[in-house]
Structure 1
Amino acid sequence: MDRNRRWWIAPSILGLALIIALVWGYNEYTTKNELGVALENHYQRLFFDVKKHVENVQVNLSKAMLSKSRDQNVLLLSQIMNEAYFAQDKLGQMPITHAETAKTEKFLNQVADYSYYLIQTHLQGKPISNEQMASLANLQQNSATFNEELAKLQSELSDRNFLFGSLNARQNKKVQEGNEKVFQTSLTNIEKNMAKTPELIYDGPFADQMINRKPLGLENRSVSKNEAQKIAVEFFGANRVQDVTSFEEGKDSSEIRIPSYTFNLHPKNTSKELAVYMGVSKKGGHVLWMANPRPVPKGNLSIKDAQEKALNYLRQKGFENMEPNYYLRYDGTVLFNFVYKEQNVTIYPDLIKVKVALDNGEIVGFDASAYYLNHHNRKIEEPKITLEEARKEVRTDFDINSSRLALIPKGKNEVLCYEFKGSYKGADYIVYINALTGNEEQILQIIKNENGTLTF
């Protein structure tokens, strides 16, 4: 009887194990496909968002050139600025390198900042000059060309059933190489047209004379690609990385503000389609940015907890004396702005952005480009007027709830100011009074909603 029992127990166990293995394999296959579809949908949405934002830039530039109303122009230029920033943000999340889109990013930055510059001239009572109108016309023409190239790219990708996820997929090399050829050729055409944008001479942080300046926060030591790869792996966590591939440097790689090596990091225990992108500076070997474009489902992590995770992340990476500034929540994540603080002075140019996933608190985005572009040993001057004297330069009916010293960017320079936050007639504002001269340097309006805080 025991022999008979063993005779049917063994096959039963094997059969059960086979069934479990089949179910597990099917679940793994299904999960992989679901992740791939979700990631592809994410990339597709980013591409169409970029296209829509650029279309809005072009349309509003056309309207601004036609309008003679100062109020209408301020409104249109504000919309242009925001649409250009949104386009750049979405472009930065695509599975492509910064070197391949350097001129496009520069163009979008200039559109946004030139619009802001013209808003300031309007608010000072100055009309748009003929030279400024010519610059707007050039920007409008380039945005139209950008739109045409994006439309061609959209059509070609649709005809070829292109998948963005295949740009970093490795299981089908022929498909990958074919898709890369189509996509990179189209990007090259776009970049060539963006290179035709004339230099804009104006006082703004993204003016050509500012973009082309030497980064202040990098050592002069050069690092090799192998050294940079080790830095990237250690930054992400060596025990979390399964494989690393590097992007080939485009011929326009020198156009980016901080030349860098770019890598694809494939995390362990994830689909091969998923990759983390990272840029490491060629000078000094610093991680400039990191993007993990994984789809993030709706999460319940609070903003406070997410902020603490972001601060801990910065401390672990060696960034001390960083204070949270503003945040924006979108697509299951929250993006925090952190600024450096020295001698009780908030240093706004030294900015680091950290993006936190609200499903599990993972850091899915990091950008220290502005920090390394601006951070250096400063000799901060002592204020020549007191806080009370600066307060007299602000409207008496401005209800102030906080004040402090801050260093703000102004063209090529940095200005020490007293920062006054408060409210006026039901709206929130920040007023900056020069701590050396008492002049009113800048006024920002704070816009708050359930997704975060923005300043204009």
Structure 2
Amino acid sequence: MNRRWWIAPTLLALLLVVSGIWGYNQYTMKNRYEVALENHYQRLFFDVKKHVDNVQVSLSKALVSDSKEQNVLLLSQIMNEAYFAQDKLSQMPITHAETAKTEKFLNQAADYSYHIIQTHLLGENVTKEQREALTNLQKNSATFNGELAKLHASMMESNFALGELSNKQSRRVEEGNEKVFQTSLVSMDKQMSKSPELIYDGPFSDQMLNRKPLGLGGNNVSLEEAKRIATDFFGKDRVARLEVFEQGENASEVRIPAYTFHLYPKNQQKDLAVYIGVSKKGGKVVWMVNPRPVSKKTLSPKQAEEKALKYLKEKGFESMEANYSLKYDGTILFNFVNKEKDVTIYPDLIKVKVALDTGEIVGFDASAYYLNHHERTIESPHIDETAAREKVNVDFNIDSVRLTIIPKGKNEILCYEFKGKHNGADFIVYINALDGREEQVLQIIEDDNGTLTF
């Protein structure tokens, strides 16, 4: 009887100790995730500011420079910095609608720079109208930098945590801290909207940005239908709950208007949300971002590519091939393009990001695909491969040749794509398959983090 009397309290005490240790471990793990997530968002924020700083400086230099050679170098830097800024901005815990005009500015800064590079390569000088357009872009970049500086000061004064935008742990955060961040972003977007329309023949000209997406099809879907689509896309059995994400006053101005949601996975820290957007027309999942921290990297790039390709097939994209990749923050981002009748179609682009710890897909962006995908009548080449080869520099050692469709302004062009080497460096040369004109030359840069083209 005495033994039974002390067994029960002892077991209870042991259970309390075990539960205490478990609770402490869960609390510690939660704090680690929150710190890792906050550090990730802070790094993205400062990266955006650094890239926009560089855009502003290079635009200022380009306005002073009178040398075509120097301008080509500066404009190339603007292109790269603007693309990097947009990529980092897209990973922030904010809606696409609130940054629609800012993303448009970054796209146009890159694309207009490329447009002027092309005119320089044809021997033309910068015109008065082009210089005015560059001046407006420079003023916008200065405005953007000023607003980012104000936003940073506000964040420091209020001890603001970017990670709490996705956690939404309290009404104070939702109504206070979030307001600091979103108000500044809306202010930036309003400033960006004051830029005059750029008239030129490029994929991010206002005429192209204002066109209707070609690949959505179907009728408009309701909010409830979009909720179901988002849940099914992520995996019904993996979803704990779904919440509508505030779309913002500029929701109608994005290229693909979408319902946006916070989706909370069952097997993930309960306050860490996945962001997902479903197009209002056609009900297509346009993008998905899972900002979860990535632990120890165990997958190779090849294994990650296989998982990304399998994921695309499960989502109905049957004829996709990987082209370029980039590793960062424990993930690898792949560019997949559509292939039809042995022709690689670059405008039909889908980006897939894979976590290198488990192989989970933590990023998906099909906006370019849905903007451009349509039924195409692909012409037969007017010149054969041998004739196209004669248009390529004789010192260019060719490794591979294939037919591709590349974007050029409002049009798409059928080209022979020649990959090879010149003086030890890797390049791609595109020769128009209809008239033999050299359309584009890209340099391939490969390092431990992946493959990029410039």
The equivalences for 1:18-57 within 5 A come to 18-57=16-55
User: Deviation per CA, 1:169-192, whole angstroms, max 9, x where unpaired?
Assistant: 343112321112222211111111
Alignment CA distance shift 1:66-1:170 (3 Å): closer
Contact 1:36/1:273, CA 8 A, preserved across alignment = no
In 2: Cα distance, 1:240 partner to 1:331 partner: 24
Cα RMSD after superposing both structures: 1.1
Q: Which residue in the other structure is 1:100 paired with?
A: 98
- The residue type equivalent to 2:347 in the other structure is P
Partner amino acid, structure 1, of 2:266: K
Distance 1:175 1:320 in 2: 43
Residue 195 of structure 2: aligned partner = 197
SS at match of 2:379: coil
Residue 263 of structure 2: aligned partner: 265
Report what 1:217 is aligned to.
Answer: 215
Match of 1:137 in 2: 135
Q: Is the 8 A contact 1:170 1:272 kept in 2?
A: no
Q: Which amino acid aligns with 1:444?
A: L
The answer (yes or no) to whether the contact 1:349–1:409 under 8 Å persists in 2 is yes
Q: Deviations over 1:149-202 (max 9, x none)?
A: 111111011101111122233431123211122222111111110101111111
- Percentage identity across paired residues of the two chains: 69
Which residue pairs with 1:430 in the alignment?
428
Rounded Cα–Cα distance in structure 2 between residues aligned with 1:339 and 1:173: 43
Partner of 1:79: 77
Q: What is the alpha-carbon distance in structure 1 between the residues aligned to residue 293 and residue 414 of structure 2?
A: 41
SS in 2 for 1:168: helix
Offset, 1:298: 4.4
Matched AA of 1:116: Y
Q: C-alpha distance in 2, partners of 1:248/1:60? A: 35
Larger mean CA deviation between 341-350 and 391-400 belongs to: 391-400
- Give unpaired runs (5+ residues) of structure 1: none
1:254 corresponds in structure 2 to: 252
Q: Distance in 1 between matches of 2:191 and 2:398?
A: 48
Distance in 2 between residues matched to 1:115 and 1:168, nearest whole Å: 35
Letter aligned with residue 45 of structure 2: F
The CA distance in 2 between the partners of 1:290 and 1:45, in whole Å, is 20
Structure 2 distance, partners of 1:255, 1:170, is: 26
4+ long deviations beyond 6 Å: none
What is the one-letter code of the residue matched to 1:218?
L
The answer to whether the 8 Å contact 2:63/2:135 transfers is: yes
Provide the aligned length of Structure 1 versus Structure 2: 454
For the pair 1:241 / 2:239, whether they are aligned, the reply is yes
SS at match of 2:163: helix
Which of 342, 360, 363 is the aligned partner of 2:358? 360
Say whether 1:178 aligns with 2:176: yes
Structure 2 unaligned segments of length 5 or more: list them.
none
Following TM superposition, by how much is the alpha carbon of 1:211 offset from its aligned partner in structure 2, in angstroms?
A: 0.7
TM-score (normalised: structure 2): 0.98
> Aligned AA for 2:137?
L
AA matched with 1:58: Q
CA contact (8 A) 1:169 1:176 kept: no
SS at match of 1:164: coil
**What is the Cα deviation at residue 271 of structure 1?**
2.4
Q: Which residue of structure 1 aligns with residue 6 of structure 2? A: 8
Match of 1:443 among 441, 444, 447: 441
